[in-house]
């Protein structure tokens, strides 16, 4: 390997290490006789480790695939991926949860399954492989990331490895669990193979795995945040296709947290996919109108200003349109990861309007936070208003909110800035998942437990609250563990 080890600056199990790393080391150091440890999974060969955070979609959300600006946070919860080489051509993948007693899930993949003749197969072949057994579809995120890396970087592995995922990130709650698996897997392989891939490339490979193997039409926002996010900062990303423009300081005495609605969320579901199709239909209609007046074609809807869109294009975009009608008139919606169904009736005007307006909301939100950091307290209220407006657009333009999520947003709104709660919104792909809340730290500590109790009376269970912050993949780096006379020793890479 190209990375020499250097001694850790922190004691093993130190409190400054992310919780998932501490848990990994606790289990790693259990005696071989204790089957709750890793004796049946790892031997004494070196182990490579990456750790990535969950993300909180503060502003931008589904506008990412339309080329918008977005503003994202990294949460305290995360996922650890540990890799140990094998001598055969097998990928052994195990996943387990942190924080509760639960059974691990495991599968094995013969690396020959990745091949087609003398070379690697194609994405359709991999998608069919992982979708052929519903009980093993969870492995598409990890296995798909491995395959995508090998294919896109022209890598040939002579042997496989054991890959362990330890996660404190619940699945399907809208805090980037899918992207965490992908980026965690890719970051671990990047360190193990000494590839030196940069943040942009890792994010793009993760998105490709989710689009082409998992089959979810996500944008690149989640992957970019999890790779490039920094502890205690918001990440400003321009999704054309995924450039980090900078960081935004969180105003002193304030924080962003997430409340889990406990309604499962998935970007592979129809509401999200149909909204994306509607936005791309709208872009195709706008470009057709522009072609008739000799103007350049748009690569992204968010290239339009709100004023230009409302005055020149919105009146000419239908509220709804049958897929068959659109295909007959325009042939294609120019989106390679979604398919228009001829008999489906798609919302078009709302999903097209949303990213154009959201792009300007995000920029206003960022300016407001920066003003607050310079002492303008009104910036806190303005930033919160942007969040409430973003939620309203998810609900009204895209039909991506639900009653449970609206309840949580309204509970924050009823308390308002006078109580120290400034804003709230649905996150990510919508239709459930997590609500982002912005407020003063003391107000969040006082009011969020009250809101959680109120919500539990509605749904019958207490919701999880996601708080804290932790390093992104690049900021964290990677670890290598070696076994010697003093047991397992950790080295930072």
For 221-267, list the strands marked E by DSSP: 233-238, 243-249, 254-260
**How far apart (Å, rounded) are the C-alpha atoms in residues 475 and 405?**
33
Length of the chain: 493
3-class state of residue 372 by DSSP: helix
| Residues paired with residue 150 on neighbouring β-strands, in sequence order | none
Residue in 15, 88, 198, 222 annotated catalytic: 222
**Positive or negative torsion for Cα 23, 25, 28, 34:** negative
Give the torsion through C-alpha atoms of 452, 458, 460, 464, to 10 deg: -30
| Contact (CB, 8 A) for 61 and 430 | yes
DSSP codes of every residue in 310-325:
IIIIGGGS-SEEEHHH
Distances 99 to 19, 22, 33, 170, 453 between C-alpha atoms, Å? 10, 12, 22, 11, 22
Distances 432 to 42, 264, 358, 489 between C-alpha atoms, Å? 38, 6, 19, 42
In the block, tokens 């047991």 appear at: 487
Annotation marks residue 464 as catalytic: no
| Contact (CB, 8 A) for 289 and 316 | yes
DSSP codes of every residue in 247-303:
EEEPPTTEEEEEEE--S---TTSHHHHHHHHHHHHHHHHHHHHHHHTTPPPPS-GGG
| Residues paired with residue 249 on neighbouring β-strands, in sequence order | 233
Q: Which residues does the annotation mark as catalytic?
A: 222
């Amino acid at each position: 390997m190209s990375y020499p080890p250097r001694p850790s600056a922190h004691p093993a199990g130190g409190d400054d290490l992310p919780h998932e790393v501490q848990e990994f080391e606790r289990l790693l150091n259990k005696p071989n006789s204790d089957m709750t440890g890793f004796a049946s999974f790892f031997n004494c060969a070196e182990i490579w480790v990456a750790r990535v955070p969950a993300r909180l979609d503060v502003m931008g959300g589904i506008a990412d695939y339309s080329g918008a600006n977005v503003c994202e946070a990294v949460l305290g919860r995360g996922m650890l991926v540990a890799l140990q080489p094998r001598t055969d051509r097998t990928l052994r993948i195990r996943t387990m949860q942190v924080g509760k007693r639960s059974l691990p899930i495991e599968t094995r993949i013969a690396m020959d399954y990745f091949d087609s003749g003398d070379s690697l197969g194609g994405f359709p072949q991999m998608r069919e492989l992982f979708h052929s057994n519903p009980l093993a579809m969870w492995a598409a995120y990890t296995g798909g990331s491995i395959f995508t890396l090998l294919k896109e970087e022209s890598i040939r592995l002579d042997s496989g490895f054991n890959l362990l995922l330890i996660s404190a990130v619940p699945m399907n709650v809208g805090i980037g669990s899918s992207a965490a698996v992908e980026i965690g897997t890719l970051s671990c392989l990047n360190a193990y193979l000494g590839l030196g891939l940069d943040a942009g490339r890792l994010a793009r490979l993760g998105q490709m795995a989710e689009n082409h193997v998992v089959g979810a039409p996500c944008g690149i926002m989640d992957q970019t945040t999890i790779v490039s996010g920094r502890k205690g900062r918001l990440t400003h990303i321009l999704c054309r296709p995924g450039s980090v423009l900078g960081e935004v300081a969180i105003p002193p005495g304030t924080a962003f947290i997430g409340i889990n609605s406990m309604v499962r969320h998935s970007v592979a579901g129809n509401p999200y996919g149909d909204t994306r199709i509607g936005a791309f239909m709208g872009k195709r209609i706008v470009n057709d109108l522009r072609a008739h007046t000799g103007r350049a074609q748009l690569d992204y809807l968010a290239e339009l200003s709100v004023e230009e869109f409302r005055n020149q294009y919105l009146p000419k975009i239908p509220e709804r349109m049958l897929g068959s009608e659109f295909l007959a008139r325009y042939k294609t919606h120019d989106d390679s990861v979604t398919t228009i169904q001829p008999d489906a009736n798609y919302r078009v005007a709302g999903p097209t309007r949303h990213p154009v307006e959201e792009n300007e909301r995000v920029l206003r939100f960022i300016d407001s936070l920066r003003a607050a950091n310079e002492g303008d307290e009104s910036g806190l209220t303005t930033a919160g208003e942007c969040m409430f407006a973003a939620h309203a657009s998810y609900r009204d333009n895209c039909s991506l909110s639900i009653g449970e999520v609206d309840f949580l947003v309204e509970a924050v709104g009823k308390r308002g800035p006078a109580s120290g709660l400034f804003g709230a919104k649905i996150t990510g792909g919508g239709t459930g998942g997590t609500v982002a809340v912005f407020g003063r730290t003391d107000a969040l500590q006082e009011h969020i437990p009250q809101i959680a109790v109120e919500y539990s009376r509605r749904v019958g269970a207490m919701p999880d609250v996601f708080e804290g912050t932790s390093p992104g993949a690049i900021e964290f780096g990677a670890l290598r563990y070696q076994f010697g006379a003093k047991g397992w020793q950790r080295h930072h890479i």
